[in-house]
Structure 1
């Protein structure tokens, strides 16, 4: 009689146990996706403000002066996972900063997604100087809300 056709329950138990242990070792050896830093939102309420750096002897109009900084907060966009809102800072007609004021962060998965999506969206917005940024894979809802809020802030700022 062939060795594989013999009724050997002990052999099957040993093989099944070895396969289970091997599978567990492989699963536990996988490294989870980690991000460099968790994105944080400011605790202040949204606002629009302008400030200018001290100038020496300038008497020109505000539109032509250097150092004028303007912050504009975009509309709050409701997404499937929560609200998204951004604040932009514009200096001398250029987008100098984009900050996520509100974004989904109710659970660890939201925090993980936004910790890598928000910095990437910020970099792209600053590079493009517009709301025409690529969607971040895995963060479609946040990316869509970010783009819409950014566009409303840029529209309000006149860019």
Structure 2
């Protein structure tokens, strides 16, 4: 039996709208180059060990990145060029929901940082703003460490 033309048109329109909405909701994992938030405030980095050389253990703190829900700042410890530890010096926590989200998102980002050995991480679902701020601060800290 042949489908009714109006029904086929309605289904085609619904499918087109659904695909369009899904495509528009996709976000890149990493902000485009030069797309750091304008409210980024650099903070002094602290270094121990060999300073700007590629050997020795050193700790570098990235800038504070202002996100929609609060500031994010990352500190990374490197042994040579290998990331051995990371921590969030600051993360959004001004309200109970932000604290709840970041209680699981920040440890996931830290674990992924050590595993990936870079700032090219997947954003944590439900914590997009924190993830983007974290990756931005982390990338700045890694740039400082390698300068």
The normalised TM-score by structure 2 is 0.65
Q: CA deviation at 1:75?
A: 1.1
Q: CA deviation at 1:158?
A: 0.6
Q: CA deviation at 1:92?
A: 2.2
Tell me the equivalent position of 1:129: 117
Match of 1:154 among 129, 142, 145: 142
Give the RMSD, CA atoms, in angstroms: 1.9
Structure of larger gyration radius: 1
List gaps (5 residues or longer) in structure 1.
1-44, 53-61
User: For this pair of structures, how many residues does the alignment match?
Assistant: 103
Match of 1:82 among 70, 76, 81: 70
The normalised TM-score by structure 1 is 0.60
Runs of 4+ in 1 over 4 A off after TM superposition: none
List gaps (5 residues or longer) in structure 2.
1-42
Taking the TM superposition and a 5 Å limit, the aligned residue runs for 1:1-159 are: 47-51=45-49, 68-158=56-146
CA distance in 2, matches of 1:63, 1:81: 35
